[in-house]
Amino acid sequence: MSSDDISTGDFDALAAATDAAMLIVTTADGEERGGCLVGFHSQSSIDPPRYSVWLSKANHTYRLALRTDHLVLHFLGEEHRELAELFGTRTGDDTDKFAGLATGTGPHGVPVLLDVPGRLVVRRLALLDEGGDHVCLTTEPVRVDGGAPHAPLRLSACCDFTPGHSNDERHSPPTERAAD
């Protein structure tokens, strides 16, 4: 059997039943800053502590994350729905989502959203691309700020957002030299 044999409706329903808490992942490569809303994430080791996030190959944030080691994971509360909508429906390919927001600067210039107190600063240790439309980044936490949100913002509160990039989009040209 393979994944071609499963009912995607059943799969989607089971996965959605976990009603994931939402994050905003930010990063910067020295020239550009970026960030997107993320529902695919989890602690992935206790000792040593590890945290994994999955970024869509379509996203500006993913392309930036390939060029740097550090990310900031912002753990959203219910009060952050508007911020989630901005980071989940607009793309850094044509917008600076940070303009007008209260921001600080974390390690290696990574932008920090000051309105979200619960944050993990992480360093990327490994990257797994097994051929799907999202890539796994396994990270080591290097700083913890604030505490967990009282009531996390959940996927079910964000179902009406239209992502800034759909998962099947690919950047073109794939590399800068390919444009020559």
d(CA 152, CA 130): 30
The least distance separating ligand FMN from the CB of residue 59, rounded to whole angstroms, comes to: 3
Q: Which is nearer to ligand FMN, 61 or 139 (CB)?
A: 61
Q: State the DSSP code for 118.
A: -
Binding residues (CB under 6 A) for ligand FMN: these are: 34, 36-40, 54-56, 59-61, 88-93, 134, 155, 158, 161, 163-165
Asked if 86 and 97 touch (Cβ cutoff 8 Å), the reply is yes
Count Cα neighbours of 51 within 13 Å in the Cβ-side half-sphere. Answer: 20
- Using the minimum distance from each CB to ligand FMN, give the nearer residue, 2 or 172: 172
Identify which of residues 48 and 169 has a Cβ nearer to ligand FMN in the complex: 169
CB nearer to ligand FMN: pick between 129 and 180: 129
Name the minimum Å distance from CB 125 to ligand FMN: 18
State which amino acid sits at residue 10. Answer: D
Looking at the Cβ atoms of 119 and 134, the one nearer to ligand FMN is 134
Phi and psi, residue 20, nearest 5°: -55, 145
Q: Residue 124 is encoded by which pair of tokens?
A: 């990327």
Cα-to-chain-centroid distance, residue 2 = 28
Tokens at 4, concatenated: 């071609």
- Least Å distance, CB 35 to ligand FMN, is 7
User: Please, which residue, 1 or 99, has the CB nearer to ligand FMN?
Assistant: 99
CA 20/CA 60 separation, integer angstroms: 22
Nearest-angstrom CA–CA distance, 108 and 89? 26
Long-range contacts of 169-177 (CB under 8 A, 24+ apart): 169/58, 170/57, 170/58, 171/58, 171/63
